[in-house]
Amino acid sequence: MSKIAVTGSNGFVGGNIANMLLAAGHEVIGLVRSQPEKELPWKTTVTDLSSVSSITEATKGCVAIVHSGIANDFNKLQQNREYAYDSFVGLTQRVTHVANKNGAQIIYISTGWVMDGTGHMALESDTGNPVNFYGVLKSLGEQVIRDLAPDTGVIARVDGVMGIHQTLEVGPRTQDVGFGYFASALVADLKAGKTFTVFGGDLVNKVTAPSLASEIGAQVERIVSRKVHGTFHLVGDDAISRMDYARLICEIFELDATLLREAPPSVEDQFPGQVPVDTSLSNVLTKKVLGLGPTSLRELLIALRTEIDTGKITAITKPEVRA
């Protein structure tokens, strides 16, 4: 199997990607700024991510670098533009230069928030039109891949990610104006008999095509194995609104939907910028290139229930059989 480096492997999406790559038999190297307090199932190496030479040394022998690491203090990103640019665009440039130097494939994890939210089920060919600083930073990162690795690089967009965090007992947020941590937070509250307030109103991302974090990891593994390049949408097949999503979660997990409420996010929960209304992504081309069958939102939620009930990640996509 192959040696693959992952930035952000101690985060939510990156941790699931690392775990799925490891489960498929690959050697995984997590690039970390400091040693994690909790021992991880994959190897980690302390790396100065501001240094091309440090990243180069850490990724020697890797056939691919999955770049999922981000800075997610949104207020700091808005207040310190130099820090924001370097954390997203500068780091993506450094990692991509290293991948090219080492002859490795670069896979950049992006987001449906590069879209302006006025469309529906955006195609892989849509380069986006972001409406806030986070979307702009991710969009600029995508352009780094197009410019520096046009024939080998991968832009892998995800959105509405659900799943279990691989490195934290409890996720860092319970719900945001996007769809991050939405499903697991709702399940936890309703299982405890609490009400759950679904964010509504004009200050939230209202529609997405949810992803399962472990399924993202499994599809990244297929991208590496098939050595494909271009833009891919690693999402489920179905777009859905927030409240309909909440009701479907209740159905799959056999929870009391009468405990659901709807209200605008509090001032503390609001995003410091405009929010795209509809960030749903079409995965038709992605499925064709990766050789994947249908994946309904219902199937993804059933897999999520298995993960929450057992504590083990449960991707639908399995590694391809290799000779």
> What residue has token string 């939620």?
301
CB atoms within 10 A of CB 41: 13
Total domains in the chain come to 1
What was the pLDDT predicted at 33? Answer: 86
pLDDT at 260 over 90: yes
3-state secondary structure of 186: helix
3-state secondary structure of 229: coil
Q: Do the domain assignments include residue 316?
A: no
Average pLDDT over every residue of 32-58: 91
Phi and psi, residue 207, nearest 5°: -135, 140
Average pLDDT over every residue of 82-87: 93
Q: Do the domain assignments include residue 114?
A: yes
Q: What is the average pLDDT value for the chain, to the nearest integer?
A: 94
Q: Do the domain assignments include residue 323?
A: no
Cα–Cα dist 300/314, whole Å: 9
pLDDT at 166 over 80: no
Q: Do the domain assignments include residue 125?
A: yes
Supply the range of the domain harboring residue 241. Answer: 3-310
Phi and psi, residue 130, nearest 5°: -65, 150
Is the pTM above the cut of 0.85?
yes
Q: Do the domain assignments include residue 318?
A: no
Identify the residue with better confidence: 311 or 125: 125
Q: How many residues does the chain have?
A: 323
Q: What is the pLDDT of residues 85-138, one digit of tens each?
A: 999 999 999 999 999 999 999 999 999 999 999 999 999 999 999 999 999 999
Say which DSSP state 309 is in. H
To the nearest 10°, the Cα dihedral for 268, 89, 163, 99? -160
Q: Do the domain assignments include residue 319?
A: no
Q: Do the domain assignments include residue 186?
A: yes
Cα–Cα dist 67/6, whole Å: 6
Q: Do the domain assignments include residue 202?
A: yes
Residue 309 is which amino acid?
A: D
pLDDT at 254 over 80: yes
Q: What is the pLDDT of residues 137-162, one digit of tens each?
A: 999 999 999 999 999 999 999 999 99
Q: Domain holding 150: CATH number?
A: 3.40.50.720
